[in-house]
Structure 1
Amino acid sequence: MTTTTIQVPEETRDHLAQLAEERGLGLGRLVAQIAARQPSAAQIAERVATTRQVLRDRMGCTLTDEECEQGPNVLAHVYALAAGKLHSEWTRGA
């Protein structure tokens, strides 16, 4: 594996070194683990798109991307849609 050098302030290096030691890791391995846990903007966008598609395919969610981006009440709308769908299926089967 090819390695490289990154420059950080001394305080940051010391803090990372302490964390690495506490976890029984080398500094490079610690930084690699931290980086692996932080998704890039492209990865986040891909997850959002996948989640929206699952909502549409499996839950019958009819919200558009624009509606999903309108704010924090989107999850409440998704729950309401899912509850309505479940209620409809339940009453149809009764």
Structure 2
Amino acid sequence: MADTTIRVPADVRDHLAELAAERGTTIGQLVAALARPARTRAQIRASYEHDRDYIAAHLVPGLGDDDADRGLAVLADIKRRARG
């Protein structure tokens, strides 16, 4: 894979260099490790649609978008309550 250059303020570069040194890696490897798990909106949507379709096909026939949206709202409420 070809490398590229990104421009950041000097203080950010210095911070990244310090973090990379503490972890025994390079700035490029550090940035890659930080970016890799972050998903784009399109990736999140595709994952949601795949999971919803799987559930509808294998677990809850007839599951619709409204059902999935209500389930997401319930999950968000549970997480909010757990945080206090």
Bigger radius of gyration, 1 or 2?
1
Unaligned runs of 5+ in 1: 76-94
> Is the CA contact 2:55–2:63 (under 8 Å) kept in the aligned structure 1?
no
> Is the CA contact 1:68–1:74 (under 8 Å) kept in the aligned structure 2?
no
Deviations 1:10-65 (A, max 9, x none): 22212211221111111111111111111111111111011111211222153312
Query: 1:59-74 alignment to 2 at 5 Å?
Result: 59-60=59-60, 62-70=62-70, 71-73=72-74
Q: Give the TM-score normalised by the residue count of structure 2.
A: 0.72
- Cα distance in structure 2, aligned partners of 1:67 and 1:74: 12
Amino acid at match of 2:10: E
* 1:25 equivalenced with 2:25 (yes/no): yes
- Cα distance in structure 2, aligned partners of 1:63 and 1:51: 11
Q: Give the TM-score normalised by the residue count of structure 1.
A: 0.65
> Is the CA contact 1:56–1:62 (under 8 Å) kept in the aligned structure 2?
yes
Query: 1:50-89 alignment to 2 at 5 Å?
Result: 50-60=50-60, 62-70=62-70, 71-73=72-74
RMSD: 2.4
Partner of 1:35: 35
Q: Which has the higher contact order (CA 8 A, sep 6+)?
A: 1
The offset of 1:8, in angstroms, is: 1.1
Unaligned runs of 5+ in 2: 77-84
User: Percent identity at matched positions?
Assistant: 36
Q: Which runs of 4+ in 1 moved over 6 A?
A: none
